[in-house]
């Protein structure tokens, strides 16, 4: 079996493709972080394992680790928003109930969720300090890559998931046909992993919002407000374009679970700005996490004493999440490359030069 592993720092073809901003396409008004990636949030690591072998295996794993410590013993405030619930996300109810995340976030394909869940349990139980742990709430999201991938073969193993977790790194994040985005299709074109970030000015707190997406959904593609799907003649109801989108939003702003849920809702607005419609068969979820503080698993204190932002201070973060999510989705399309997979099915890459020309003629390039 041929296995291609791609870590977040490893150079690949996708890394060197031009991102939309390099063509003059802009999304919103807030500046990006240095990498324009989820890893602009300090301490955040991403690991990816890509499975490309034979004529029909096109899948993988993407892992997001909010902080470098023991996530079970030092839990992160978190929330999950369900835009459309046709999905197999594990771990939702405890996050909803307690407002904390106690494992890394893993993304993979639909039928590999149980395998990834088992791997996350193994990962947690083997962490130093967790020797007496007897309950774990693993959080695993998915999209269905069964058009290009032999999804029934369930080729993702626990070893692949653990590899993504242990080799996760800071720095640039690979986009396009990598990790959990290897076999995905978005707006009728090849989808994949995408990421982006926003850095608020100091006067608004100086906080960073980073987003990572796994794009596998349909609608009427819009880029920079332009009806690209219509111009290219590829859109829902003209063709069968269904699917899902997983969105992971991390921020170093001190938010509690309630305002993280509100932040997650705004990420869904970013999806809408790309033309996504959250169709009946689409599993669209947003997982939002704050890295600003941790909540200890054990404490002799009866009270958690943390300072969190007031409601009046969160609007800039909402805007940042909208802009970063929109850009991350479009970044995934620009990075993805034509791929043939299971059953000879082919997903063509977005015709980037044609898209740029459409936007240029409309006078929308910056």
Residues identified as active-site = 244, 282, 284
Element (H, E) at 53: strand 45-53
CA 348 to each of CA 162, 221, 341, 354: distance values in angstroms, whole numbers, following the listed order: 31, 15, 11, 14
Per-residue three-class SS string for 178-239? CHHHCCCEECCEECCEEEEEEECCHHHCCCEEEEEEEEECCECCCECCECHHHHHCCCECCE
| DSSP-derived secondary structure letter, 37 | S
Alpha-carbon dihedral sign for residues 221, 223, 224, 226: negative
Query: CB atoms < 10 A from the CB of 315, how many?
Result: 12
Alpha-carbon dihedral sign for residues 100, 104, 105, 109: negative
Polymer length in residues for the chain: 366
Spatial separation of the C-alpha atoms in residues 185 and 176, rounded to whole Å: 10
Looking from the CA of 365 toward its CB, the CA atoms found within 13 Å total: 13
Main-chain phi, psi angles of 357, to 5 degrees:
-65, -40
Q: Which of 76, 84, 73 is CA-nearest to residue 105?
A: 76
CA 62 to each of CA 71, 147, 160, 355: distance values in angstroms, whole numbers, following the listed order: 17, 19, 10, 28
Residue with tokens 């639909």: 110
Six token digits for residue 81: 């928003």
């Amino acid at each position: 079996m041929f296995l291609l592993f791609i870590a977040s720092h490893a150079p690949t073809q996708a890394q060197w493709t031009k991102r939309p901003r390099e063509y003059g396409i802009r999304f919103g008004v807030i500046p990006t972080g240095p990498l324009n990636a989820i890893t602009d949030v300090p301490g955040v690591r991403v690991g990816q394992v890509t499975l490309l072998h034979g004529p029909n295996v096109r899948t993988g794993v993407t892992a997001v680790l909010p902080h470098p410590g023991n996530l079970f013993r030092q839990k992160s405030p978190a929330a999950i928003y369900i835009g459309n619930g046709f999905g197999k996300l594990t771990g939702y109810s405890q996050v909803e109930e307690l407002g904390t995340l106690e494992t890394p976030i893993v993304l993979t394909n639909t039928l590999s969720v149980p395998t990834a869940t088992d791997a996350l349990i193994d990962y947690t139980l083997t962490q130093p300090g967790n020797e007496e742990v007897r309950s774990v709430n693993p959080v695993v999201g998915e999209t269905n890559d069964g058009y290009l991938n032999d999804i029934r073969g369930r080729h993702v193993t626990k070893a692949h998931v653990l590899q993504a977790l242990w080799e996760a790194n800071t720095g640039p994040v690979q986009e396009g046909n990598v990790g959990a985005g290897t076999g995905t299709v978005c707006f009728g074109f090849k989808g994949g992993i995408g990421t982006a970030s926003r850095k608020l000015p100091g006067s608004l707190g100086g906080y960073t919002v980073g987003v990572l997406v796994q794009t596998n959904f349909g609608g009427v593609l819009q880029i920079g407000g332009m009806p690209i799907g219509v111009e290219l003649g590829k859109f829902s109801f003209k063709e069968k374009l269904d699917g899902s989108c997983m969105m992971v939003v991390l921020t170093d702003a001190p938010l509690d679970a309630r305002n993280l849920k509100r932040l997650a809702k705004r990420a869904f607005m970013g999806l809408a700005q790309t033309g996504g419609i959250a169709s009946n068969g689409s599993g669209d979820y947003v997982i939002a996490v704050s890295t600003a503080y941790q909540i200890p698993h054990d404490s002799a204190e009866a009270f958690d004493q943390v300072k969190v932002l007031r409601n009046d201070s969160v609007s800039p973060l909402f805007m940042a999440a909208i802009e970063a999510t929109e850009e991350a989705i479009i970044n995934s399309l620009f990075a993805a490359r034509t791929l043939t997979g299971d059953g000879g099915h082919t997903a063509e890459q977005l015709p980037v030069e044609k898209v740029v020309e459409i936007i240029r003629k409309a006078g929308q390039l910056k």
